[in-house]
Chain A
């Protein structure tokens, strides 16, 4: 059973465009993490959101945690080719912080 739905699964855009990736669930998470993974490498943590309604910014990336802590979004402004990669969200279920629930990922290609 997939507890964390991530969309879109694939995204190909031109340099300079904006995009948003979504993670949605019917479950409440105590925290949610966003990772980025490049081919042949392991995922690298971008940000952790903990509080409902929280917004965090990392340069051109804006992360938001839903008020009910069931969903999250990642918005990239003016995408660059260097943003290309697999974006993964992972949620910690309340009461079970030892194991993360992973989305299937969004494969982003930014074309110059």
Chain B
């Protein structure tokens, strides 16, 4: 069990550029979550995958955000035309469990995005 890994750890980009983050969950976990977190605040839910299916997406997620998990393993989160308000820590988490079961989340160490 190597844990959840995220890449890159840090990303600095200019406003208007596109960025893509990658998450590799724990291998046997079928659930994958993306969260956004600003300094001193709790995580804010963005989207959720069960295997390769994206089952839920936050209404806070604008059309500039898209996430994929094509083979039910790793996932990518893309932000198009970045804005300064997108600056935050982007956290990925995975969990196991059947439908109706709430398994604890295992988080990666996040990708810190700074939009200048």
| Residue ranges of A at the interface with B (Cβ–Cβ < 8 Å) | 6, 30-31, 33, 40-45, 48, 86, 88, 90, 92, 97-100, 102-105, 107
- Considering the chains assembled together, what is the distance between the CA atoms of A10 and B36 in angstroms? 21
Total CB contacts across the A-B interface at under 8 A: 58
Q: Is B41 a contact partner of A105 (Cβ separation < 8 A)?
A: yes
Q: Is A43 a contact partner of B55 (Cβ separation < 8 A)?
A: no
- Considering the chains assembled together, what is the distance between the CA atoms of A48 and B93 in angstroms? 16
Q: Is B40 a contact partner of A105 (Cβ separation < 8 A)?
A: yes
- Interface size of B by CB at 8 A reads 25
Q: Is A107 a contact partner of B40 (Cβ separation < 8 A)?
A: yes
The smallest C-beta distance from A11 to any residue of chain B, in angstroms, reads 12
- Considering the chains assembled together, what is the distance between the CA atoms of A35 and B77 in angstroms? 24
- Considering the chains assembled together, what is the distance between the CA atoms of A104 and B44 in angstroms? 9
Q: Is A45 a contact partner of B102 (Cβ separation < 8 A)?
A: no
23 sample A-B contacts, Cβ–Cβ < 8 Å, listed by A number: A6-B42, A31-B102, A33-B105, A40-B109, A40-B110, A41-B109, A42-B4, A42-B107, A42-B110, A43-B107, A44-B107, A45-B104, A48-B104, A88-B42, A88-B43, A90-B42, A97-B101, A97-B102, A98-B31, A98-B50, A99-B48, A104-B42, A105-B40
6 smallest beta-carbon distances between A and B, as pairs: A42-B107, A97-B102, A102-B42, A92-B102, A45-B104, A105-B42
Interface of A, helix, strand, loop or mixed by DSSP: strand
- Considering the chains assembled together, what is the distance between the CA atoms of A92 and B41 in angstroms? 19
- Considering the chains assembled together, what is the distance between the CA atoms of A41 and B4 in angstroms? 11
Q: Is B42 a contact partner of A103 (Cβ separation < 8 A)?
A: yes
Q: Is A30 a contact partner of B109 (Cβ separation < 8 A)?
A: no
Which of B42, B91, B107, B109 has the most chain A CB within a 10 Å cutoff? B42
